[in-house]
Structure 1
Amino acid sequence: MFAPADAASRLAPQEGAAVLPVPLADLADVPTPAYVYDLAEVRRNHARLRASLPERASLYYSLKANPHPALLRTLREGGARPEVCSTGELTAALEAGWTADTVLYTGPGKRDAEITDALERGVRFFSVDSPHAIEQLSRLAEESGATARCLLRINDDEPVPGQGLAMTGVASQFGADAGWVLAEPARFASRPHARVVGLHLYMGSNLGEVDALAAQFSRTLRTARTLDATLSAHGVRCEVLDLGGGFGAPFARAGHAPDLRALRPRLEALFDEETPGWRDGGPEVVFESGRHLVGTAGTLLTAVLDVKRSHGKDIVVLESGINHLGGMAGMRRLPPLNPTLVAAREPREAGELTALVAGPLCTPLDTWSRAARLPALRPHDLVAVPNVGAYGLSASLVAFLGHPLPAEAVVDSDRPGTPPEISRTTLIRQGVMD
């Protein structure tokens, strides 16, 4: 495996080929560039995460991580529920076979048309972020002849240390500040057609350590207990407690999903202390996960277009750039990716190079790495980027400069020899692009 130059170690070129879920020969009919998704890895991730959570807890899959239909069907078959935050994601969930009564519809701002569409399709469970959002949902539910259930999303007063991406404890569009709810609880009570049935607390994301996750959930449960005591005086009964997730996974780098099995007994002890009665179904405890379930199931396979030297530096130009992988990171809104690059097949020449790796876009910002240690690549060689099953294609700048979109191929490493399922990109299916 050929990692960036600042990595502590690297493997030999031939060992890197193992990043692909099936032999490269089985992908001969897959055009490049292509995202390759392994359903077996999705099943394994789901089973491991479920085993890391209390048995009575429920698990939602956040479609924002990857809305590919095959991945959705696999997770539905495994028992996950869908968490969506747009009309496109709702459509994808329903087309994958989930029923509307299993959907949790979230998001910090929702247009009337989106809510009405969801209500008319049968969705009755929403997350709301403010008194206005409760009133909006009640008004639209009444117009649709329905009554909706909703979770009040909370922005806790302090962030929890160790978060990969802070979602609470800072000024945010997500949720109502805990102090606001405690100061004016009547404003967060149920409305005639929007019944507040619980709390939604999502503290942070991409945490890979059991200790960090346990600390996050411990804080969450203490906050929930305080809020529940205050809101109960205004008729709110906490039937559902959504603790979010934050379960980490490597992104565009070598590695495996973290082992979280030690989390289960920690959580059960926390619930026994902070939420008596949870074992008997009151309240129902639910979690959410996106990247942990599908992140390690995706690989980007892309070809080398050009190799040259410029001002004494090797330059490798790929079919894929920030338009296919990287999104805001590519535009320097976030730290640069610097992804692991793996030779997908034995290079035709011996040797190595330390190269600037760029994509085909007509901008100097289209750079993945400035010092990647690679084999002696030539045009038409193939390289792969591991662990991009979450926030890969659908989170990237696909419309920028109008280059073709990658294909998406689905394989199942538990069923060797099965031809890959090659499909149009999810973005076209969702109507995001023509």
Structure 2
Amino acid sequence: MISHAELAAEFGTPLYVYDLDELAAARDELFAALPEEFELFYALKANPHPGIVRELRTGARSCRAEISSTGELTAALAAGFTGADCLYTGPGKTAGELAEAIGHGVRLFSTDSVTDVRRVGAVATAHGVVADCLLRVNSVTASAATSIRMTGVPSQFGFDSETLIELLPALREVPGTRLAGMHFFPLSNADEASLIGEFQHTIATAAELAAAAELPLRYLDIGGGFAAPYGVPGERGAYPTLRGELAVALDKYLPSWRAGRPQIACESGRFLVGASGTLVTQVSNVKISRGRKFVIADAGINTFGGMSGLGRLLPVAVGLAPDSRGEQASLVGPLCTPGDVLGRHIALPPVEPGDLLSVPNTGAYGPTASLLMFLGRPAPMEVLVRGDRVVSASRIDYRRVEHVLPAKFESTEGI
């Protein structure tokens, strides 16, 4: 594989390097952990780079696309997906974006409220089509007590399971829609025991709700939550018994699942793409302030923002040589704000201005999950490699201004 130093010399820093071979390995590994009958959606929110999305569409078993915006739809289409390959999710779909999605052939939607279903139906009716709606369920109970919980609490996501049955008469009457099944996403970044327990609970809940409500269950998306490190060294989660445990639970509660009644699906973002990425950044300065060392790099929260700079998933850890003794320092970015911190008091190698640092496992939630436009700095370069070959090199250009002023508002005054 081409060295990060060579790529940095060629393309500059900050620089994301995405290894397509690692990406394909993660895809194949996750498919192997699931029963053969399962479909797998790639959540583009993790990384919508068309080259990455395209790689996940290939292989002996290929992913479908889970999208939640027209921008992600554009990325999916650019990567070779069709609208029919996509599941459109999100609690705040507008009529405009639904029109664009349905116009491009999207027919499967995860819906979160009666209003959401009605809006999908109105747009589908206007296009002369019928849209399949999965009812996202916010279960009142849960199995796993660990990991990041995504259910069992008040939320903008999903129908509360305890009130769903009373809403079904209204949902069944919505023109332009067909109730196709359910969608769950109960937790995130889970170990195998937690994930198996939650999937078992999800499958049992789906079967119980379908029977009690006489709800057609043609499709069931049981969610994801597959673990992978973020911005620190480590390996993807291992799920050696998941396949068998899922089969046992499905045989018990939904015995026709092997024949596709219902079709079962999972989804994943970080697990599929996280390990493929490395962030390479150059040290701009090293300074001591009142006894504390600060290493200032050209990558900050505008480059790797920990989910839009919220800091929930920081600090990062940089790669250290096996024989290197790390020293405590704060790794900060170049922005003119004290909040531009990638890690406080973390282990860093002895560095000088001009040295390169690498942050591993940054293939997910990188540029598009960061404060990309803050202070107007250029976006980082993104390079896709396969072995010793550069497949593509690109940079998001957010500084191009597109003037879309309607004629009735035009002025003779220049901008």
TM-score when normalising by structure 2: 0.91
Given that 2:185 and 2:223 are in contact with CA atoms closer than 8 Å, whether structure 1 keeps it comes out as yes
| Alpha-carbon distance in structure 1 between the residues aligned to 2:327 and 2:217 | 59
Decide whether aligned partners of structure 1 residues 419 and 134 sit closer, same or farther in structure 2, where only a CA change above 3 A counts.
Answer: closer
In structure 2, list runs of 5 or more residues that go unmatched. 403-415
Deviations 1:33-87 (A, max 9, x none): 0111010011000000000001101001000000011111100113110110000
Deviations 1:323-365 (A, max 9, x none): 1112457445x36x1111125899xxx9753211111111111
What is the match of residue 229 of structure 1? 211
For residue 171 of structure 1, report the CA deviation from its aligned partner. Answer: 0.6
Deviations 1:264-323 (A, max 9, x none): 111111111111111111100011111000011111000000001110111100101111
Given that 1:156 and 1:169 are in contact with CA atoms closer than 8 Å, whether structure 2 keeps it comes out as yes
| Alpha-carbon distance in structure 2 between the residues aligned to 1:400 and 1:215 | 41
Decide whether aligned partners of structure 1 residues 344 and 385 sit closer, same or farther in structure 2, where only a CA change above 3 A counts.
Answer: farther
1:399 and 2:399 aligned: no
Equivalent of residue 422 in structure 1, options 372, 393, 398: 393
What is the match of residue 196 of structure 2? 214
1:37 and 2:8 aligned: no
2:163 is paired with a residue whose SS is helix
What is the match of residue 272 of structure 1? 251
Q: CA RMSD in A?
A: 2.1
Whichever residue aligns with residue 316 of structure 2, its letter is P
Query: Percent identity, aligned pairs only?
Result: 42
What is the match of residue 298 of structure 1? 277
Given that 2:320 and 2:326 are in contact with CA atoms closer than 8 Å, whether structure 1 keeps it comes out as no
Given that 1:304 and 1:381 are in contact with CA atoms closer than 8 Å, whether structure 2 keeps it comes out as yes
Deviations 1:211-242 (A, max 9, x none): 1110110110111011101231xxx3110001
- Identify which range, 48-57 or 131-140, moves more after superposition: 131-140
Whichever residue aligns with residue 165 of structure 1, its letter is I
| Alpha-carbon distance in structure 2 between the residues aligned to 1:314 and 1:286 | 49
| Alpha-carbon distance in structure 1 between the residues aligned to 2:267 and 2:69 | 16
| Alpha-carbon distance in structure 2 between the residues aligned to 1:152 and 1:356 | 46
Structure with higher RCO (Cα < 8 A, 6+ apart): 1
| Alpha-carbon distance in structure 2 between the residues aligned to 1:428 and 1:36 | 22
What is the match of residue 340 of structure 2? 366
What is the total number of aligned residue pairs between the two structures? 398
Given that 1:354 and 1:371 are in contact with CA atoms closer than 8 Å, whether structure 2 keeps it comes out as yes
| Alpha-carbon distance in structure 2 between the residues aligned to 1:312 and 1:381 | 22
| Alpha-carbon distance in structure 1 between the residues aligned to 2:235 and 2:399 | 30
2:303 is paired with a residue whose SS is coil
Given that 1:301 and 1:384 are in contact with CA atoms closer than 8 Å, whether structure 2 keeps it comes out as yes
What is the match of residue 381 of structure 1? 355
What is the match of residue 9 of structure 1? none
For residue 163 of structure 1, report the CA deviation from its aligned partner. Answer: 4.5
Whichever residue aligns with residue 73 of structure 1, its letter is R
Equivalent of residue 301 in structure 2, options 303, 316, 322: 322
What is the match of residue 185 of structure 2? 202
Structural mapping, 1:120-269, within 5 Å: 120-189=103-172, 191-207=174-190, 209-232=191-214, 236-269=215-248
| Alpha-carbon distance in structure 2 between the residues aligned to 1:57 and 1:405 | 37
| Alpha-carbon distance in structure 1 between the residues aligned to 2:341 and 2:160 | 39
Given that 1:125 and 1:149 are in contact with CA atoms closer than 8 Å, whether structure 2 keeps it comes out as yes
TM-score when normalising by structure 1: 0.87
Deviations 1:160-207 (A, max 9, x none): 434532211111010000001133432332523100110001101111
Given that 2:277 and 2:360 are in contact with CA atoms closer than 8 Å, whether structure 1 keeps it comes out as yes
Decide whether aligned partners of structure 1 residues 23 and 171 sit closer, same or farther in structure 2, where only a CA change above 3 A counts.
Answer: same
What is the match of residue 60 of structure 1? 41
